[in-house]
Structures are given as structure tokens and as C-alpha cells.
Structure 1
Amino acid sequence: MSSDFLKLVGERIRTLRKEKGYTQESLSEKSGIHVTYISDIERGERNISMETLEKVITALDVNAVEVFRIEGIEGIEERNEKKLLIEAFNSLLAGRKIEEVQMILRLAKDVLGTFDKLN
């Protein structure tokens, strides 16, 4: 059984691979990782080591932070799993300045306060 986080990272790796125009086979060749293992990573079925992640990042020629920018996954807003959505929201905020995070927190509190008043 794979974790939600592994699934999100795997989906992000798949998205980055496709953006580069790579097949799983070409990513396998570039990274030196077996194609079946690449497939397992993308499905979130492998708890990969940092060394393996580094090989994937190098092969994709992206910054490490790109792998964890899960807000870029298509359809993330349509997911109905609360934990996944919270992790996606967290990833949106992770690279932001503290002032921006504080502003988003204030906005979220205002929006939630409005929801609470309506219910």
C-alpha cells in the first residue's frame, strides 16, 4: 500500500517526464533506473531512496523543488481526498515568503469565517 505523498510525488514525476517529452523507457535510459521501477515510482508504489530520486531529477534536468511542486498536477483541485488536498495546499505554500504565507493564512481564516457564518 502506497502513501498519498508517494502517489503525489509519483504523479508529479510523471507530469515532468511528459512535459520533457520523455517516455518511461527514455527516462529509464537517462537515469539508469529500470523501466519497471520508473513505472512503480510514477504510480507511487515505490518508496524510493534519495539516491534514486537524485537520478530521476538529474535525468529530467529539473531543480529538486520541481518534483515537490504538486500544485502542477492536473486535476488536483478535483480530488476528494482531504489529506491529498491539504498536502497540495502545503506544497503551494512551501516555497513562498513568510509574508505571503501569513497573508494566505489571514485570507483562509476570513473565508472560513464566512463559511461558518453561512452554516
Structure 2
Amino acid sequence: MTKLRNSVGERIRAIRKAKGLTQQQLAELSGLDDAYIGSVERGERNFSIDTLEKIVGGLDISFSDLLLIYNDEDQQQDTVRRDATVEYISILSELDSEQIKTLRKILDTLKGAFD
């Protein structure tokens, strides 16, 4: 059971970081203590479904997003893309339109480097 608890905790941490949240911010959003969030992320806590529901609500994700299991490389790649998208949307929400235009130019240049 510890392996599953660790996997869920690692996934919570990855999503939290992708969204640019600290443990304290997630704790506030989910109505839990920040030390508790840390122990869940490290797989140290047995947590209830009710607690998991609070964390999922704080992260503003679905249970299926949280419980993604990597069956193959394609699924893992999709998850990496989804996590990056969440992170980039969070960053974009803090930028004005001129900054977004500049960022798009930079991304176009970077994309060309991979072709």
C-alpha cells in the first residue's frame, strides 16, 4: 500500500508545482494544514477519500487527472504535455498582451531549433 500512497503523493506534488502553488497555498485552497500536505506528498500519511477530495478541489483538477497511471510511454508523454500546459497557462495568466506576444516569438524561435 505504501507504493500507491507514494505515487499519489508524488502526483499531487507534481500537479501542485505545475500550477505554481506552494504547499501553504494548496493547504489554504483545500482547507488543510501545510504540514499535512507535505506529509501526503511524501507518502507518510494514510489519508481518507474525503481528504483526497479536498486536495483535488484545491488543485482544481478531476480525480482522473490525479490518478493517471502510466501504462505506456504514450500515456506518460500525454501526461507530461498536460502538466506543462497547466504550468504554462498559470504563467500566461500573469502576463499582459505585449509580454504574451514576446513569449510567442521566443517559443517560435525555440520550436525552430527542434526542427
Q: Which TM-score band (shorter chain)? A: 0.5 to 0.7
Q: What is the aligned partner in structure 1 of residue 29 from structure 2?
A: 30
Q: What is the aligned partner in structure 2 of residue 18 from structure 1?
A: 17
The aligned length equals 73
**Once the two structures are aligned, what percentage of the paired residues are identical?**
44
Q: 1:39 to 1:70 in 2, by over 3 A?
A: farther
Which structure 2 residues correspond to residues 104-119 of structure 1 after superposition, within 5 A? none
The normalised TM-score by structure 1 is 0.57
The normalised TM-score by structure 2 is 0.59
Q: Which runs of 4+ in 1 moved over 2 A?
A: none
Q: Which runs of 5+ in 2 are unaligned?
A: 76-115
Q: Which amino acid aligns with 1:11?
A: E
Q: Which runs of 5+ in 1 are unaligned?
A: 72-88, 93-119
Which structure 2 residues correspond to residues 78-89 of structure 1 after superposition, within 5 A? 89=71
Shift of 1:57: 0.3
Q: 1:68 to 1:36 in 2, by over 3 A?
A: same
Q: Which amino acid aligns with 2:38?
A: S
CA RMSD of aligned residues (A): 1.6
Matched residue SS, 1:16: helix
